[in-house]
Amino acid sequence: MTESNTKLSDTPLSRRQFLTRSLAASSAFAIPTFIPASALGRGGAVAPSERIVMGAIGIGGRGSYDLGSMLGESDVQFVAVCDVRKGNRDSAKNAVDAKNGNKDCAAYIDMRQLLSERTDVDAVLIATGDRWHAPASTLAMQAGKDVYCEKPACLTMAQGQMVVETARRYSRVYQTGAQRLSEPNHVFAIEMARTGRLGKIHTAYADIRWRDGMLRNWLPEEPQPPKEELDWDAWLGSCPWRPYNSAYVNGGGWYHYYDLATDVAMWGAHTVAQALAGLDMTDVSHIDFEYEGPDVSMNTRLSNGVKLVLFRSGGSVSDQCNLWHGSCGERFDGPDGWAAAADGYTAPDVSSPALMREFKKVLADYTGRTQRPLNHVRDFLNCIRSRRPTVANPEVMLRSMNICLAADICEQLKRSLKFDLQKAEFVSDAEANRLRSRAMRAPWQV
């Protein structure tokens, strides 16, 4: 087995065994043997037998950023990349080859080929378009790979449940890319709420940004590029067929269309998870969604009395937001004060400067209690080794996504709904319950 094919599950030679056998061989043949320090894990390098071998699926845009972050981890070795777009494949392969110092990175068009052929791969990064997140994660875990998947993790509640059940059945480590759950400012705000420093939380806010509805029309057909340049059928995956138009593919145009994306979950996949992390959800049986119109924030009420506001920032309501500045914010209000965080902060926002005096202590208590790093990728990699659940594990993902998708269905039906969080179904509403899943187009069903 070559170095790049060594799996974590194999039993590697110890350093002493390796040296002993190498020295014995050199004595037998009377030829000096040079052993690179990197092969032994010296000089800060990680020995091949201790590396996490990875593949990347969907590596344009956000995927290229994630790939760069993971390439920076000393114990990670990428050996394969996959994308239906040639430009993305080539760029990713070049980045991996440059890091590895060779030309060995394999490039695939079809993820199924990568997953079946690369038995050396321990884990995969999945950063495809949203329509592929849940199917690709499911296929990868069925193939025995651990998964880091970008958000939103699913298009439907049924897909989210599929991911949870697959991770459980195949004992896979899964992390959804809600990275703010591992960022210091957000962790501080969450911990201020969770530990009772603000008193019993009565209101939490999650930024769902401004979306101008989801389009249902089809763009006019354009000539398809050669399959080697773009595999259009695979790009669509299990979504309904529609003729090729470059506007879907270029510049993220796809995320405006209902068949290819979500509405509230586009941003709520981050922020609802952030809000829930600061709340006690153990006794929450149901959530009431209060629909008040298409262009206003949505109030929800948890069965334990907490009000969760899905706040629409941006667009025509941008000047009305006094809860935070920046995007992807969350805020917690209690009788003893409030705390909030969002992107671009040098420090969290709090109702009183006195609350910030505990900033370092709150983070130290969190890392000590959880033994988690304040680094989302590192948390995933550590959990691959320990086999414990990640901070954004499948259950965390499913709960937050179900709330986002329930809000989407409220928007679609234009009425208030009650959602049973334990059963993952709407109460006494057959029409709403039918929208918890979508048909998957052949041959891309999972």
Per the listing, tokens 């354009």 go with 222
E strand or H helix that includes residue 265: helix 265-277
Specify whether 193 is located in the same domain as 311. yes
Q: Is residue 406 included in any domain, yes or no? A: yes
**What's the pLDDT score for residue 312?**
84
Mean pLDDT of the chain: 89
**What's the pLDDT score for residue 171?**
98
Tokens for 42? 């010296």
Specify whether 113 is located in the same domain as 237. no
pTM above 0.95, yes or no: no
CA 174 to CA 395: how far, in whole Å?
A: 10
Calculate mean pLDDT across residues 115-143: 98
Produce one character per residue of 288-326: b if its CB has 16 or more CB atoms within 10 Å, e if not. ebebeeeeebbbbbbeeebbbbbbbbeeeeeeebebbee
Of the pLDDT bands very low, low, confident and very high (cuts 50, 70, 90), residue 321 is low
User: Minimal CA–CA distance to 159: which of 256, 243, 237, 59?
Assistant: 237
**Given a cut of 60, is residue 185 above it in pLDDT?**
yes
**What's the pLDDT score for residue 211?**
67
- Where do the H-state alpha helices sit in 1-143? 15-29, 62-71, 86-100, 111-117, 130-142
**Given a cut of 90, is residue 97 above it in pLDDT?**
yes
CA 351 to CA 97: how far, in whole Å?
A: 49
Of the pLDDT bands very low, low, confident and very high (cuts 50, 70, 90), residue 325 is confident
**What's the pLDDT score for residue 373?**
98
**Given a cut of 50, is residue 333 above it in pLDDT?**
yes
Give the tens place of pLDDT for each residue, 165-179: 999 999 999 999 999
Specify whether 102 is located in the same domain as 241. no
Contact 340, 349 (CB under 8 A): yes
The region that residue 25 occupies, defined by phi over 0 for left and psi between -120 and 50 for alpha, beta otherwise, is alpha
Specify whether 363 is located in the same domain as 268. yes
The CA–CA distances, whole Å, from 391 to 86, 101, 135, 180, 372 equal: 34, 33, 22, 10, 8
Specify whether 280 is located in the same domain as 399. yes
Q: Is residue 443 included in any domain, yes or no? A: no
E strand or H helix that includes residue 340: strand 337-341
E strand or H helix that includes residue 184: helix 184-194
Range of the domain at 242: 215-260
Percent of the chain exceeding pLDDT 70 equals 87
Calculate mean pLDDT across residues 329-335: 97
Angle at 124 between CA 120 and CA 127, to 5 degrees: 155
Q: Is residue 308 included in any domain, yes or no? A: yes
Specify whether 52 is located in the same domain as 27. no
Specify whether 24 is located in the same domain as 81. no
Q: Is residue 2 included in any domain, yes or no? A: no
Cβ neighbors of 291 (< 8 A, separation 6 or more) are 298, 410, 411, 413, 414, 415, 416, 417
Residue 400 maps to which CATH number?
Answer: 3.30.360.10
**HSE value, Cβ hemisphere, 13 Å, CA-based, for 282:** 2
Q: Is the peptide bond before 443 cis (omega within 30 degrees of 0)?
A: yes
Give the tens place of pLDDT for each residue, 12-50: 434 334 334 443 433 333 433 344 444 444 445 677 778
Higher pLDDT, 71 or 20: 71
Specify whether 193 is located in the same domain as 318. yes
CA 111 to CA 443: how far, in whole Å?
A: 14
Higher pLDDT, 257 or 294: 257
Specify whether 192 is located in the same domain as 336. yes
Cβ neighbors of 400 (< 8 A, separation 6 or more) are 178, 268, 269, 272, 273, 276
**Given a cut of 70, is residue 148 above it in pLDDT?**
yes
**Given a cut of 70, is residue 192 above it in pLDDT?**
yes
E strand or H helix that includes residue 123: strand 123-126
Contact 198, 333 (CB under 8 A): yes
Of the pLDDT bands very low, low, confident and very high (cuts 50, 70, 90), residue 267 is confident
Of 200, 225, 260, the residue at which a domain comes to its end is 260
The CA–CA distances, whole Å, from 337 to 183, 260, 357 equal: 22, 41, 14
Specify whether 387 is located in the same domain as 403. yes
Calculate mean pLDDT across residues 258-284: 93
**What's the pLDDT score for residue 212?**
64
| Paired residues of 53 in beta bridges | 77
Contact 91, 67 (CB under 8 A): no
Angle at 92 between CA 249 and CA 245, to 5 degrees: 10
**Given a cut of 80, is residue 223 above it in pLDDT?**
yes
**Given a cut of 80, is residue 213 above it in pLDDT?**
no
Specify whether 223 is located in the same domain as 244. yes
Percent of the chain exceeding pLDDT 90 equals 80
**What's the pLDDT score for residue 38?**
45
**Given a cut of 80, is residue 442 above it in pLDDT?**
yes
Of the pLDDT bands very low, low, confident and very high (cuts 50, 70, 90), residue 344 is confident
**How many folded domains does the chain comprise?**
4
CA 152 to CA 179: how far, in whole Å?
A: 12
Hey, is 349 helix, strand or coil? strand
Contact 417, 429 (CB under 8 A): yes
CA 262 to CA 273: how far, in whole Å?
A: 16
Calculate mean pLDDT across residues 226-248: 97
| Paired residues of 148 in beta bridges | 125, 175
Q: Is residue 138 included in any domain, yes or no? A: yes
Calculate mean pLDDT across residues 419-434: 97
Contact 159, 132 (CB under 8 A): no
Q: Lowest-confidence range among 129-138, 173-182, 323-332?
A: 323-332
Q: Is residue 82 included in any domain, yes or no? A: yes
The CA–CA distances, whole Å, from 229 to 61, 418, 434 equal: 17, 46, 37
Specify whether 338 is located in the same domain as 388. yes
**What's the pLDDT score for residue 382?**
98
Q: Is residue 342 included in any domain, yes or no? A: yes
Q: Is residue 29 included in any domain, yes or no? A: yes
